[in-house]
Structure 1
Amino acid sequence: MDRYAVLQKILELNSFTKAAAVLGYTQSAVSQMIASLEDELDFKLLYRSRTGVRLTEEGKSLYPFIERMLLQYRAMKERANEIRGLDTGIIRIGAISSITVHWLPPLMKEFQDLYPNIQFVLHQGDYSSIHEWIKNGSVDFGFINPEAVTGIETRKIKEGAMSVILPRDHPMAANKRIKLADLADSPFILLEEGHYSEPLEAFKSCNTRPNIKFTIHDDYAIMTMVEAGLGVSILADLVLQRTNYDLVMRPTDPPISRTVAIGYKEKINLPIASKIFIDFLFENKDKLD
């Protein structure tokens, strides 16, 4: 299985050299392992160029099977560890930025106090990318909005409010609440969340559309742009905690909420460590603000 794990790491890091360093091999050994694998399969898996590494067409066709095989192998190893009474394991999580910043650090700290040998691998993305990572096995589970996904199991954690953020000198900054219809003429900065967006769904339900001027993938970049007077936005209250941006935060009319859930393909097939962490999360969900 080492050769397949090496292939996965090369693609993850886009480099033979970086993969060798992370895995503790020489670059020559990594190249030989890939060459041996290609000889066994009787076709090339990778193209190497100055810009990095990419799969051949044959490699693209085979790689989903390799990912599933590695996932099952890791699950088997963790099951064997559980049988032997060990607490080792790797938990692979897909999360949106607000969850990565505010929920996961204290949860992981408490969990590692109980299980000090557990490792975490975090993949940060949007609803679309997390959904795809769950389906192809890149992560064990992910934090998503259940309305944004299909074909996977979901388990709701909680609802969270979303608010308008405005520059301090905006004409509506003095309002206690902001009607969505009143935002239609303001330059709007949209958080890129894949194919589903809670603010866009809310505008649609009010039969109006925002005047989108920018689409950004990072909540904190959006706050910087709003502070600079480039527009207004709507973000989850969770990500607006503990920030030093000079902004005005107001609830919307009608209110907008975001449902946060755990998503996975099948809980019965999750690695043991991930099952335990999910149970731990729900035992402590009342602590999540």
Structure 2
Amino acid sequence: MDTFNYRIFLTIVQYSSFQKAAELHNVTPPAVSHIVKQMEQEFGVSLFIRNRRGVVLTTSGEQVLPLISSLVQKEDMLLQYLSDLNGLKKGHVRLGIFNSMCKYLSDLIYGFKAQYPNITFEIYQGSYENIIDWLKTGVVDIGFLSQTVNPHFPFYRIFADPLICILRKGTITASDTGISLESLANERFVMQRESCDADARRIIDKLNLDIRTVCHVVDDKTTIEMVKAGFGFAIMPLLTMYGFEDEVKMLPIVPAEERVIGACVRNAHDLAPAVRKVLEFIQDYDYGEMHEKLRKHFFE
């Protein structure tokens, strides 16, 4: 079977839509339906079902997804290897990235494309949980994760992001230069869901703090709003606070705590040339200057 059909399949999975797959691949919706029907006949199983959320995979569809993803990746790798024989003239790299890491994204891509202008990128933004799933199923080639949540992927450390404590503006603390989390043991705590707040949970467990959790929220902005409204304090990575520094009181944690950010791949020994080159660029990129600017912006 032509891998074009597999690419149609993967696009339907990505967007939960036959219509979107047709638009992106420049074919008609009936043609997409015909391709799916042909695949189902050849596989002998149903691949999709329709519900209120759109089009979703059947159990059989979920089982073949990693295999189809792998086949498409293998073809892309072959084409990129052939291109690499003449100097990495072509390539396509898919990145999985969480919200706060997006602050580096434009500089990373701009810097890389200055050297390799014909390499294209596709960006998937989501939670740690999303990125782990995308790596497992081959939706992305490289995913950015905190080391705390990395299940088993090859992990390439790129920088450490300081963790800070945020409180409602006007909160009286023993010091305005730092705060001990033990001093907040009896205070109310705003917690994100586990997949988003893994490093905060790690610190609380490490210090064996008895925290009163009063909010369970799903994103950085909501966490900041809850703290701003006086629902409690929160532990946040420094990167997440850019643009919100005037809304809450921010203090470094004493002793210092951090989350380690890295780039992950599913299999380090099976990377297309363009993916390998991007991974090397991500590792070699100088994050220090921008991170130091952020730190000074917040605390000096």
TM-score normalised by the chain length of structure 1: 0.90
Report deviation, 1:179.
Answer: 1.7
Counterpart of 1:237 in structure 2 is 238
**Structural mapping, 1:89-238, within 5 Å:** 89-100=91-102, 102-172=103-173, 175-192=176-193, 194=195, 197-238=198-239
Q: Which has the higher strand share?
A: 1
Q: Does 1:9 align with 2:11?
A: yes
Give 3-state SS (helix, strand or coil) of 2:96's partner. strand
- Do 1:164 and 1:252's aligned partners in 2 also have CA atoms closer than 8 Å? yes
Report deviation, 1:3.
Answer: 0.9
Report deviation, 1:193.
Answer: 5.0
Root-mean-square deviation (Å): 2.2
Deviations 1:34-55 (A, max 9, x none): 1111122222211123431122
Deviations 1:86-122 (A, max 9, x none): 522221112221112x111111112122222222222
Mapped to 1, the partners of 2:207 and 2:129 lie a distance apart of 25
Report deviation, 1:56.
Answer: 2.1
Mapped to 1, the partners of 2:190 and 2:168 lie a distance apart of 12
Deviations 1:42-95 (A, max 9, x none): 222111234311222222222221121122222222222222445222211122
For residues 90 and 214 of structure 1, do their structure 2 counterparts lie closer, same or farther at Cα, with a shift above 3 Å needed? farther
Give 3-state SS (helix, strand or coil) of 1:224's partner. helix
Mapped to 2, the partners of 1:93 and 1:105 lie a distance apart of 12
Give 3-state SS (helix, strand or coil) of 1:202's partner. helix
Report deviation, 1:235.
Answer: 0.9
Counterpart of 2:280 in structure 1 is 279
For residues 240 and 195 of structure 1, do their structure 2 counterparts lie closer, same or farther at Cα, with a shift above 3 Å needed? closer
AA partner of residue 191 (structure 2): L
Report deviation, 1:2.
Answer: 0.9
Mapped to 2, the partners of 1:273 and 1:46 lie a distance apart of 32
For residues 73 and 213 of structure 1, do their structure 2 counterparts lie closer, same or farther at Cα, with a shift above 3 Å needed? farther
Give 3-state SS (helix, strand or coil) of 1:229's partner. coil
Any gaps of 5 or more consecutive residues in structure 2? 292-300
Indicate the percent of aligned positions where both proteins have the same amino acid.
26
AA partner of residue 266 (structure 1): N
Counterpart of 1:75 in structure 2 is 77
TM-score normalised by the chain length of structure 2: 0.87
